[in-house]
Each structure stands twice: as structure tokens, then as C-alpha cells.
Structure 1
Amino acid sequence: QPVPFKAPDWAHKFHECSDFNPGRHPQLRFGGWQWVIEYGGMLDTYNDAEVIRDELLRIIWGMWDHAKNHCPKLKEEAQNFKLTWVSHVVGKRESRRLIGDYIMTEHDIANQTLFPDRVSYGGWGIDIHPPKGFYDPGPPAIFSHKVKFSVPFRSLYSKDINNLMMAGRCISVTHAALGATRVMITCGLQGQAVGTAAGFCKLHDTTPRGVYERYITDLQQQLLKDGCYIIDLPNQDPRDLARSAKVSASSFAPNEVYSVASFLPVHKLDHDRAVMFAWPGGRLEAVNVYLTSERADAVHLTGTLCSASGLGEFNSGQDVAKSEATVSAGQKGWVAFAFNRDLPKGYYFLWLPKTAGISWSLFAQRPADTARAYRGTGEWNPMPDCYAFQLVPGQTPPSPLAGEEPIAYFSPENVIDGFARAIRGRPHSWRPDPKLGWPQWLSLEFPQPTSFNTVHISFQSKSMRADDFDLEIWANGQWTRLLEVRDNGERRRVLTFPRVTSPKIRLTIHRAQPDMGVCEIRVYDEPEQ
């Protein structure tokens, strides 16, 4: 039923939709837009905290008054809505930061610097908001460089307070770099790194800088052991007994079952998107792109081929030709845009329009002389990496997994290759042959009888896990069940049991989710607590 709303006298008045700056108009859906209600960037977020809070409350109540009583687009829909709660605790997006032994900059993110002391990572782009916030006439944010990046341990401890570490929005980064490191999950990973480092400080009676100088490898390996991901850093834990084992399995899946788009990053066509390449000159017959459709119907896409003045210069583009292609319902694979044109040597890019239900895969590794970009309503925004494409004719990668030596994607040995998840399109997992039924098993044979009391198992993902499985050891000439797990719901399990001695250990899976894979198995003989 209708719920009337009368704005308090102290609320700001927004009688017209035009009273809001671009991107700041209220919406009725929950989540994903409230961040545009920002204020305080021109003030002292500590000393002026109450002034900032009160102004935000005036804005919020004014926005609600506009939606309920004045907005021609929302008024009818909003009549049954009620404002039930507003937080009086303001979330600080940015405030004071501490200086560490290293100050991360936006260049470290744009260049994806692999620090030797990296202990966590992030995946959010550089997301800069204007200081005037809600009252800025420009766009609410400028977003760029949505890439994976590393965070060095030296940015997580103070350079001049010996026993002080930090994690979150106060770490040693520039204003621009904070636009990428400040998001919650990234901050949480920093917190795990700092918490683990604090344990190392106590264990070795040293300072955070001492951990960096003498124990950084141990810290990194401990974080990996605890399930963290550190970019391009493999498991090299000398205490992991599985690393010296010989691995075998009842079966493993052939490469043909591998779905490229299942592991490679994909971008929805929620913007216009483009891929640029160098053309040596001559006749270009077609450009193929790797697309995935989640639609229930076929859709016709128009690809526009443009020339460019140089690599990455998307905004200099001049239209050369257009081509139409059909993406079938549920299709996953290469889609050809035919051009059949003689083109002079130079840089060209193909762009596809914003289209609901269609995604474009990226290469696992960016080929030389390529670039990509996206566009909203304005200019093209160049980004790192590259969308998957093929030129016809041309010496272009035959698949998004270009550059890799032929490998067995689901070999049993993958469980001790050092990586506990899919990386750059490679699953890094053992997967049994899907044509065979359950049970399926994977065995580790040690060089000699070995004592252990802990096993770590990391599955491909939570949705690609084993549900029911046993852990078995070889004893008295036969396999003996050590423990059983039923109705598992987790991606990663750390299983402990009384110490046993055996030359072999086996994981037997009785029931699993579709496309189940085991990425890593670790075996330890942990000290008694």
C-alpha cells in the first residue's frame, strides 16, 4: 500500500531530475549505485567527520524525497516504498595513509609489477573519484587498468615505527594506487599477509622489516600453504612431502574436454569493446573472435573495422568497413567477421557493439603488437591484455591458449605442479575421464615409507569440487581407509588425523560436481601441538 513521505526541513531539496549531476540521480534498486552519494573529499575526513556525516544525511533524505514526491520516472513506482534504515556511521573511502619502505604507485598496477616480496594481490582497476563527490559536475568515477596486480610486503609496514604494520586503506600507496588497493577483498588479503607476518615476528623475535630482510620466502610459502594466491609464485615448501611423490591416477580427461571459455577471463559486451592488431598489408579476408552466448536466441552482431594512427590509438580510428555475423543461441567459440578487403600496412581494430548476453574471451597471454579497449558513451579507454582474435590469413594464435607447449591439461602430475588454481587459461588440475563412472582415484607414492598426519586438498573451485571422497593409505599389502568425507561443500580441505606411516596415499572420489578437478594435494608431518 502507498507509504507517504514528508521530507524534514533540514533535507536538501531536489525538485527536478536536472538538479542532479550526471550519474547521481537516485534509483530504487538496492545495491551497486549508492557509492555515488559521496562527500568530504575537500574536507578533513577526521576533524570534519560530523560535518560530512550531516551533509550526507541531508543529501540522502533529499534524494528520497525526490524519488517519492517529485521524480516523474520513479514517483509511481516509489509510492509503496519506505525508507527503513540509513547508517549513521560514514564509510571512509580514503583518508590518511602510512609510509612504508615502498610506496606503490599507479605505474605498479598498470605495469603489473611482480615484486619479489609480493604477499597479496588485487584485481580491481584504478578507480578515481572526484574530491567534490556528489557535487562534482563530471562523471562519478574514472576507471582504468582492470588487471591483476601484486602488493609488496614493504608497503604493509611502517618505515619509521619498528613494530607497526598496516592493512587496508592506510597502506603505503599513492592516491591513484589506492583507487585499486582499497576494495574489501584486496584489503582482506593484505590483512592475512600482515597477520601471518606478525606470527613470524613473534616466532623469530624480529621486526616486520626483519621479516622482509630474512624471512620473506618463508612468509610467502606459508601464505600459499594457507590457501592464498600470490601471482606466479609456485609452491616450493620444503616440508610438503607431496612434492617428491610419484603421482598416478585411474584415468585423466583428454584435452578435448577442455573448454577454453571456462577458464579464460571473459568480458561481457556491456560496453562497446575493441581489439587492435598490426596488419602487414595485403588482403584481409576475415577477423575471427572468440565469443560466448548466454542468450536463448540468435543475435546478429555488426563488427566495425577501423584504421588507427598507432598501437593503442583507438580514438584516432577511421571506419574502414563493416561486417555482420550471427552468434547462435548458447554458442561458445570462434565467430568470423568477413571483410575481404585489400588493406595497406598499419594498425587496425575491430570493435563490437554493446550486446546483452554475449561475452568476449581474452587471450591467456597478450600477443605482440595488440591492444584492447572499451567505450561507454565517450572515448575509447585502452586497457591491458587482449581479446581473443584470429586474422585470416595470418600467423595468429590458433586458440586463446597461444604460446603454450602441448600439454595434458588434466594430467595427474598437475596436483604437484605448484599451483592451486587455474591460471591464465590453464586449469592446473587433475580431472578424471568424464566418460568413465565413479569411483576414480589419484595416488601419491613416496620414495620411501613416510610419516604424515595432514593432507591439504584444493579443488578447481567450489562449484567444481568432489562431494564424497575417501583418503586411503597402503598398509599390509592393501588400501586401507584413513578417513572419509561426505557432502563436502568446500573448495579447499585441510584434513588432519593421527600420524601414520605409509609408502603411498590415495584419494578416491565417489561423487563430484560436474567438471570436478583437483588442483593441488599437499602432505605434511606437522609437529604435535
Structure 2
Amino acid sequence: MKKEAFSSRKRSFKREECQADLVIIGGGMAGTCCAITAARQGLQVVLVQDRPVLGGNGSSEIRLWILGATSHMGNNNRWAREGGVIDEILLENLYRNPEGNPLILDTILIEMVSNEPGIRLLLNTAMYDLVKSSPDTIESALAFCSQNATEYLLKAPLFVDASGDGSMAFLAGAAFRIGAESADEFDEPFAPDDTYGELLGHSLYFYSKDTGKPVRFVPPSYANREIAKLPRFKSFNLKDHGCRLWWVEYGGRKDTVHESETIKWELWRVIYGIWDHLKNSGEFPEMATHTLEWVGTIPGKRESRRFEGDYMLSQKDLVQQRQFEDAVSFGGWALDLHPADGVYGDLPGCTQWHTKGVYQIPYRIMYSRNLKNLFLAGRIVSSSHVAFGSTRVMATGAHNAQAVAMAAVLCQESKLLPADLLVPSRMKILQNRLIRSGQYIPGLRLSDEAELARQATLLPSSTYRLQGLPMDGPWKSLEFAMAQLLPLTEGEVPGIRVRLKSSKATQLRVSLMGSKRKGNFTPELILAEKEFEIASGESTLLIDFECTIKNSEYYFVAFSANDLVQIKTSNTRLTGLLSVFQKFNKAVATSSRQEPPEGIGMDSFDFWLPERRPDGHNLGFELDRSVQMFSAENLCNGIFRPTSQTNAWAAALDDTEPSIELRWDSEQKIKEIKLFFDSDYDHALESTLMGHPEHVVPFCVQRFSISDHQGNRLAQVRDNHQSCFTLRFDEAVTTQSLKITLEHPSATTPAALFGIVCY
């Protein structure tokens, strides 16, 4: 036993000192992805999380789905899901958890962090103080774990604040802002006035379940029994649950840092008031057998402090899709502001205006302009309130944080500080390392002279040539205008033959459309248009636009809405090919055309949206000449997703053993091989609540092998479901060739690769 006598002096908690290369405060999605990225690059990392699980707003404690530029597939951002570690997490969650159980996501995050030997994870540990070695340099942080009564002294040359409220940056004295800037400061016409409010509030979610027997509910005394009198009550969808209850929001008129507990209590009042109304008002008899399964105890916080970096992102950066020399990430969620009064106001729950495409995010917003060794990650990065309305979402914050981690790696390798990386030569190294790791930066490609695959001769066993797609899919009504996206090369547009079925004679307009900005998927330009007389019954339609195009990129072959007509689709699914419809997703829009009020600085345009699987069939069609869209040369162009072209090689479907061989003129020493697969970056992978129809994306090659020039098998994989596969060797392999042999994902989906990278 242990026995201690009375001490007249105050005792101290146990203290442990931790020395690391990088200390990260905050274990939300940003901090988690930052830690994994840094540790995989060899840094010793301490990750401090004040909760018992990782994931922040995405964890089982709060249960918000992870989204970013794909925006529920409700905007014109095609193939825009974030890359790198956050993509790996979402694909692993799809594989293990297509039902969207938030508890399973918890296990994935904990597993991925604990599998990295370079990460020291401190859960239930809150940072409460720090020490500065000089006015602009952090030396160490102090944190306390309530579960093991231990105080930690955390020392490192570099720190990351991913805490959500910016706890470390605040204590260190960094410049910050709370609330909305005036419209004049950054020339932001969308900046809200005081009637709308300067801050987004918190939300709290609940789950219910049907027990199959009557369940009564006695509300707690603090429940809001007058919920039906709220101004917006009639617009509430009371039968939703989980994060579909995002509109249960409050706190935008409060101090969202120091009054967070007060806000939580008010949200409890609202939640239990809603449930009381459902159970006891008599208006919902079908809820008699339902019970509350879970109510959040921690609200999902949207906004508090934003810290100042060497640049502040603002509205026009996003809307105009400005280019940055220091671009390291991207965004694409709507500029999404919420009225400060939340559920107690009479304004709609949010105001969302989308950009025409994704936008670059510069590195300069990811470190403090005041503290030399402090990075910023998550929702506290340097942006105006309006731009924050888009950058704040979890997948965007996580993608930014991966850039922060790689920047920290470069700083540690060369004994630099964050701002030192702005030198163009260093920034190029950072961008290349990010792209190599799976990060996507719009407009940039991997450009590394040391990379070996680009020096090889590529020998494919076959190449898929697009002559059309079999007309073997279901008939699709033209209730909405439909378009097939086609990556066409400059020159004469090929003739297109489709199969139609009409209930009576009618007319149909077919247009060839394009985007004003290369790489966008907002069709604003009508390049050619034809009007056709359609007979009753089934018929074949030949479309010859008699048009020549100057730019090689994606074009829309668009069929006008006509509910008398159905068009034949295809069961073949093909990398970089999809159909879209002129309609809207009510989760992120209210109309198939965005028409913002005059003078708020947002664009008007039509939404052309894909359908989710198991729908989302391509058009069935025949071309009068084939289109070359899958050249093996794409494998070394340094872009690993569709952009203005497919950027992929695909094998012919009748190739029974598709392969690609890399052959060099002399022997090469290879330490690492990376393969980039098609995990359908167009598909939003909401992590919780929303289910998905598959556990592996149908385009993704699951089975493949890698062999050297002597036929020695270097790797054989049978269950791949990730975008990026990395094979590292303890000792470099010497070979004059590599052969990658793939299996087609299915009989109707050819094997495809976006890239091969060797070092």
C-alpha cells in the first residue's frame, strides 16, 4: 500500500515533460490530419485533444458529417473532393461504415493516429498556459489531463493551433478578430449588417428510434414548452434527426468563446422542447412508439476567433477564383452565413451563395503574422468573416491542415520558420511534396525532376478509346435538362447518336455548351444549338453540331427539359465521364439557378448536378469517330484527378489482363512507388447519418500487382479501396522496368489509373 502523511505544503500534480518536433493543440479533423501527415513524414508529434475522442465536430460527441468543396454534390464543383489524409479517412469510413455510424468513425480516427509511432496522443488533455522565449516565439505549452491527473510540459520548435477557438494563439498574444468586417474593409458586398448579425451560432443534434411499443416522454423542466410559437416553427422539419438538424442553432448574439456553456443550455431547451412537441402535442401520432436515443452534450461550434496571417482571404478571392503563387489547398463550399439569432429569429437558417468553381487557398493564411513559430489550422485561419463562411467546413480545414503539416516538415528539415517558406524555390518544394502525398492544388501539377516515372517509356497493354457507351441502361426521363460531360479535343466536334422514347410527337433542343473559365464546370457558353422534331415512340437521333472547338477540355452535350421524352442511358461507368442535370439539391440551394440579390458580389448561374449512385448513369451514345481521352501519357502529367481532361489511362474492357509497363534505358534504384487510383472525387462521402450504396467506389481498382524486370512480384494487393497506394522499400530495388497489372473493377467499368510516381 501507499501511505502519505499530512503535508503542510501544497502538493503538485504529477508533471511529465514531452519534447517533440511539432506540438498540435486540438484533435478535430484539422489537428488529426495535421498530426498524421507530419508523423508520416518523420516528425515526432504531440497531439493534444481536450476531449475523449478525435474528430471534433465530426466525432460521435457532435455527429456532424464531414464535407467540403463537393457540398453534397449540390454545386458545379466536379471531382472536387479533398485529397490526402482526409480523403483516406473518408474512404476508409466508406469501406467500414457505409451506414454512417459516428461511433465507427471514432474508431477509424483513433486507429489511424495510434498506428503512427511518431504521434504521442494526449486525450482528455487541455492546454491552459504557455511560455514564450521572446515576444514573438512560443517555447512551450502547459496542458492538464483530468483523467490521469497529470500535467504536461510540451516543448517544440514549432506549434500548430487547431483548437477551434484559437486557445494557443490567443494566450500567445496573436492578433485576432471576432465578428464581421465592414463591407468596405475588403470590398465585400456580402458582408452582413447588424440586423443579420456578425457571428454564426452553435448547433446541437439528437437521434431517435422506434421501439415498437408506446413510449411516453415527460419533458425536463428546462425544456422550451413554447417551441411552436417560434417565428420559424412552420418551416422546421421536425422528423429529421442528427446533423440534418443543423438549423437548431443559437448563440450568434453571444460570446461564442466564453458563453459556450450558456449557449448549450439554451440548445438543450430547444431540443427537448422539439421532442416534447413531437411526443405530446397530439399532432404526430406516428411518434408514439419513438424514444430519444441520443442528445448531444457538446454543441457543434461554427465560429469564434479568426487569427491574422500574412494575408487575409476575402470574398473576391473566392468568387473570382484568384490565383496565388503560394497556393497549397483549395475550397469550394458555398459562402455560407447564418443569421445570428438562429432558431429564435425569423430569417431563413442560412444564406448560401456558391462560386462557379473551386478556389485556391494560399499558404500565407495558415500561420500567425505575430508569432514566428505558430501555424494556424482549422476554422481559425486568416480570413474575413465572409470568406470564413466557406473555409470553415471540416474537409476544407483538414485539407489546409495537411499543408500546415508538410510546411512544418520542411521547416524542421531546414531549421526554418513558417514565413521562410514563401521564397519561391521553397514554396515549389512544398507544393510538390503536397501533390505527391495526394493533396490537390487547383492549377498545379507534380513537377519534380527527381521523379523517375516521367523518365520511363510507358507501354500499356491496351488503351480505352471512347467510341460511345452501350445503350443498355435504364430510360431516363428528361423531366430536367440533362447533359453528358465529354472531354473533347480541339477540332471538329464528333457527331453523336442517341436513343429516345417519346409519348407523343414533340420538339427537343440539344446544345453544345462550355465554361468561360477552363477547369470550371459551369456551362455559360452556348457554342452550338440544334432543334429536332421527335416522333412518337422510340427513335434514334443523330446530332451533328457542325462546330469546331479551339480548346481541349470538358463540354456539355445538353438536352432541354421535356417530360414527354426519355433518353436511353448506359450501365458502363467510366473514369472522368458523367452526366449532370439542371436541377438543385435542397440541402444547399433553393433553385436550379442561383440568382443572388443585386449588389452582394455573387454570380448568377445555373446548377448542373450529378445524381448519386445507384443512379447517375451516363448517357448511352455512339460517336461517329472515337475520342482519345485515356492516353498512357496522362500517367506522368502530375495531375491525379479529372480537371479539364480525364488525366487518366484506362485499359480496354476486353483486355483480360490490363497492365502498364514502365521501361527505362538503364537500371534505376527505386525506393518508393505510388499509384493513384480513381475513387470518384466527384462523390461526396458524408461521414455520418447519410448512408452510401457501396463500400468501395465502383471505379476503384481493388486488385493489382507490381513486378520488376525479372518478374519478381514486389506487391500484390487484393482489397484496395483507397485513392493512393504507396509501396516503400527498406532497401532500394534495382530494376530496368516495372509492370503494374490490374483487374477491371467490374465487367462494365474498365481499370484506370491517374498516375504512377517513383523515387
Distance across 2 between alignment mates of 1:135 and 1:159: 38
2:215 is matched with 3
Structure 2 letter corresponding to 1:90: P
**Structure 1: 5+ residue runs without aligned partners?**
260-267, 276-288, 305-310, 312-321, 337-349, 364-372, 389-398, 400-405, 525-529
The one of 228, 233, 237 aligned to 2:439: 228
**Shift, 1:86, TM fit:** 1.5
* Residues 29 and 199 of structure 1, relative CA distance in 2, 3 Å threshold: same
**Shift, 1:5, TM fit:** 0.9
What secondary structure sits across from 1:11 in the alignment?
coil
1:193 is matched with 403
Distance across 1 between alignment mates of 2:535 and 2:338: 39
1:211 is matched with 421
2:453 is matched with 242
1:316 is matched with none
What secondary structure sits across from 2:336 in the alignment?
strand
> Equivalent pairs: percent with the same residue?
28
Q: Would you say 1:494 and 2:715 are equivalent positions?
A: no
| C-alpha contact (below 8 Å) 1:471/1:481 kept by paired residues | yes
| C-alpha contact (below 8 Å) 1:456/1:522 kept by paired residues | yes
Q: Would you say 1:98 and 2:318 are equivalent positions?
A: no
* Residues 204 and 15 of structure 1, relative CA distance in 2, 3 Å threshold: closer
Structure 1 letter corresponding to 2:419: R
| C-alpha contact (below 8 Å) 2:673/2:727 kept by paired residues | yes
* Residues 440 and 379 of structure 1, relative CA distance in 2, 3 Å threshold: closer
* Residues 250 and 353 of structure 1, relative CA distance in 2, 3 Å threshold: closer
**Shift, 1:84, TM fit:** 2.5
**Shift, 1:142, TM fit:** 0.9
Structure 2 letter corresponding to 1:429: A
Distance across 2 between alignment mates of 1:440 and 1:518: 11
The one of 418, 435, 451 aligned to 2:638: 418
**Shift, 1:25, TM fit:** 1.8
Distance across 1 between alignment mates of 2:321 and 2:440: 15
1:283 is matched with none
- 5 Å-filtered alignment, 1:339-350, equals none
Deviates more, 1:482-491 or 1:501-510: 482-491
* Residues 375 and 467 of structure 1, relative CA distance in 2, 3 Å threshold: closer
1:308 is matched with none
Distance across 1 between alignment mates of 2:379 and 2:738: 45
What secondary structure sits across from 2:250 in the alignment?
coil
The one of 503, 506, 529 aligned to 2:736: 503
Deviates more, 1:148-157 or 1:461-470: 461-470
Distance across 2 between alignment mates of 1:186 and 1:292: 41
Q: Whose RCO is larger (CA < 8 A, sep 6+)?
A: 2
Structure 2 letter corresponding to 1:236: S
| C-alpha contact (below 8 Å) 2:248/2:267 kept by paired residues | yes
1:521 is matched with 756
- 5 Å-filtered alignment, 1:440-479, equals 440-461=658-679, 462-475=697-710, 479=711
Deviations 1:352-379 (A, max 9, x none): 6999x9997389xxxxxxxxx9753998
What secondary structure sits across from 1:8 in the alignment?
coil
Distance across 2 between alignment mates of 1:377 and 1:408: 33
| C-alpha contact (below 8 Å) 1:292/1:360 kept by paired residues | no
Structure 1 letter corresponding to 2:595: W
| C-alpha contact (below 8 Å) 1:26/1:67 kept by paired residues | no
1:57 is matched with 268
Q: Would you say 1:12 and 2:243 are equivalent positions?
A: no
TM-score by length of structure 1 reads: 0.72
Distance across 2 between alignment mates of 1:191 and 1:429: 28
* Residues 297 and 466 of structure 1, relative CA distance in 2, 3 Å threshold: farther
Distance across 2 between alignment mates of 1:191 and 1:236: 22
**Shift, 1:448, TM fit:** 2.1
**Which portions of structure 1, spanning 4 or more consecutive aligned residues, are displaced by more than 4 angstroms?**
272-275, 289-293, 296-304, 322-329, 331-334, 350-355, 357-360, 381-388
**Shift, 1:171, TM fit:** 0.5
Distance across 1 between alignment mates of 2:243 and 2:536: 30
What secondary structure sits across from 1:68 in the alignment?
helix
Structure 1 letter corresponding to 2:745: A
Deviations 1:303-334 (A, max 9, x none): 99xxxxxx9xxxxxxxxxx99999999x9998
**Structure 2: 5+ residue runs without aligned partners?**
1-212, 471-476, 484-495, 510-515, 517-530, 546-558, 568-577, 583-587, 597-601, 609-618, 620-625, 680-696
Deviations 1:166-214 (A, max 9, x none): 1111010111111111111111101111111111111111111001235
**How many residues are aligned here?**
438
